[in-house]
Amino acid sequence: MKRCTWLKPYLWAAIVALLVCGLPAWAQGQAAAPSAPAATPAPPPLAVDAPLNVSGPSTDDQAAGDPSGTKTGTANDVVHADPTKPLTLVDLVNQAGQNRIAINFVWTLVTGFLVMFMQAGFAIVETGLCRAKNGNHTMMMNFMVYGFGLFAYWVCGYAIQMGGAAGTAMLGGINPLNHEFTIHLLGHDWGLWGTKGFFLSGATYDVGVMVLFLFQMVFMDTALTIVTGAAAERWKYVAFCVSSIFLGAITYPMFANWAWGGGWLSKLGANYGLGAGYADFAGSGVVHAVGGITALALSLIVGPRIGKYNRDGSSNAMPGHDMVIVLTGCFILAFGWFGFNPGSTLGASGALRIGTIAVDTMLAGCTGSFGALLYMWIKYGKPDASMAGNGLLAGLVAITAPSGYVNTLGAVIIGFVAGLLVCVSVEFVDRVLRVDDPVGAISVHGTNGLWGVISVGLFADGTNGVKGLFYGDPTQLVAQLIGVATLLGFVFSLSYTANMVIHFIIGQRSAAADELEGLDIPEMGALCYPEFVLKPDTTHAGAAASDFKAGLQVARETA
Amino acid sequence: MKLVGVLLAVFGWLLPVVALNMTSSTGMRMFLCILGIGITLVAILGVLNKAHQKEAVWKQ
């Protein structure tokens, strides 16, 4: 057997080298290894009410001014429980708690103010997409829906929605809202509505309850203003008033309770093991789908505008009168959405994901407008402005529910699909269903609200407690689908039935002659644009309306 | 027809909710959800819409 004798010196050299280099390193590691802690005496117990030896700048220092900002916001500004005594640890801890809740109050209020401003966006989008002869009427519906909704919500809507929602730590607990009406059925408790907070009276005269009221109220008003667009140009104003009050007082709060107020949908996870229960972070379902589905119910009841469809059932385009205010309104809405989604954390302290939520929101809006633009450009050869605007809104609507649970890739996909979906849905509603929706509210808010709810069950990545199908949990998708079934089955049925009752009592639709003239004078008593000369409508829709008008005249003479 | 449409829509909602107690299989629950949503859509877009289209203004 031949031995590799020539290897021997090299092997020895390698072993020596390893020893020379390795030993010091090993020794160093041993030295760096943590030694057992020496027994140290325990610190003396801290007396929380003992005076702390800290002081801020003197009054004289502060009187000299503070251009650099180093003398403002010091120990002098910490609130003392007893101003006559020095600062204690209790004072510091209380101040920290106060600061956290103050930050969250300010965040929630400011984002609520942003959402309130969305009313202006909705108002001009809807008015711009309607004809000039109905400008005052459409604007006044959007203007007064704020007041009607707010009043109804103060009377009973808020109590029904959030009356049992105590325990919201971000706003200090809101503990006065502590009773949910619940029935025990099929082996589980089913929360149906809250019972505390009617008129914001009694113990609900509370700072946290008030902040939550403002934030939830502006969300509710968003749902209400969606309906006015779908029924625009033929909705009797008095019927609009009654219908809006009902939606703000009953329909919206009921579903919102089930999803956000501790109701049965939110408990599907605990009771039936369906993921985290129905998850709707900022309201694709609660706000937008409720508004869009109610808009569908209203559109069915009031029927299409005169001239929208020909006798053979073909559809006529009825373009709006001002694309500038439509797209400006879309920008206002996109701005307000930064209140809608990031604000739904109900605070900034302890909820630093607000940055992710804001980025998800802007990305989905952007890809939504891409999707719609692409669809229209490919199919019709031109990049349609109103559909690009609707695509932006569709993307924002769709990301509203998943914005707290998805990453940016998910947001991009959700938004793009929403942009395509809104175009397909508008065509389907207009040409197949023959349901007249002047602003596309059913498609933007209804269809994409439902898509947003479903997308949580698909794209939620599990980083914030909700995990969707693509990340390994199919049960979350089941919870979301039950939410969709509830929106379609419960919300639609309740809205439809209530509005049919209103229809039988006072009538939902304006008189045909008023509609042909434009609703500004007959319904509101004043024109939106009194100095403008409105030219006759020479489009197909105008011709169809003229035919109808002639028929109406003949019918009158015959009668 | 309108009443039938509304009742069918409510049925489509209650089907997956009640079925939660009947089965614990995720696949079956998902199937029943989709079935319920389908029934509701047929009720709204088919039955109810058809009933309203009969009296549509453009047919008068």
Query: Best mutation site among B57, B59, B60 for testing chain A: the one with the most A CBs within 10 Å?
Result: B57
Q: How far is CA A255 from CA A5, A393, B17, in A?
A: 87, 22, 15
Is residue A29 over pLDDT 50? no
Query: Which chain B residues touch A496 with a CB distance below 8 Å?
Result: 6, 48
The percentage of chain A sitting over the pLDDT mark of 70, rounded to a whole number, equals: 89
Predicted structure pTM score? 0.88
Which tokens sit at A486?
A: 């509830």
The pLDDT score that the predictor gives to residue A127 is 96
Q: Quick one: which of A468, A485, A274, A191 has its CA closest to B21?
A: A274
Q: Give the dihedral of Cα atoms A443, A227, A309, A424; nearest 10 deg.
A: 0
The pLDDT score that the predictor gives to residue A355 is 95
Query: Best mutation site among A190, A493, A508 for testing chain B: the one with the most B CBs within 10 Å?
Result: A493
Between vectors from CA A145 to CA A372 and to CA A486, what angle results, nearest 5°?
Answer: 60
Question: Does A301 sit within 8 Å of B52, measured CB to CB?
Answer: yes
For A180, phi then psi, to 5°, come to: -110, 130
Helices and strands, number each (H, E), in chain A? 20, 2
Instruction: Give the ipTM of the model, two decimals please.
Output: 0.97
DSSP class per residue in A396-422:
HHHHHTGGGT--HHHHHHHHHHHHHHH
Which tokens sit at A226?
A: 């969606």
Range in A38-52, A259-273, A539-553 with the lowest mean pLDDT: A539-553
Is residue A173 over pLDDT 50? yes
Out of B13, B56, B58, closest to residue A489 by CB? B13
DSSP class per residue in A156-221:
IIHHHHHTT---BGGGTB-TT---EEEEEETTEEEEEEE-S-GGG-GGG--HHHHHHHHHHHHHHH
The pLDDT score that the predictor gives to residue A33 is 47
A282: helix, strand or coil = coil
Out of B6, B29, B37, closest to residue A484 by CB? B37
Instruction: Return mean pLDDT, chain A.
Output: 90
CA A175 – CA A167 distance, rounded (Å): 6
> Sign of torsion, CA A45 A50 A53 A55?
positive
Question: Minimal Cα–Cα distance from B1 to chain A, Å?
Answer: 13
Is residue A32 over pLDDT 60? no
Instruction: Summarize the confidence of residues A69-87 as an average pLDDT.
Output: 87
CA A160 – CA A180 distance, rounded (Å): 9
Q: What is the 3-state secondary structure (H, E, C) of A229-258?
A: HHCCCCECHHHHHHHHHHHHHHHHHHHHHH
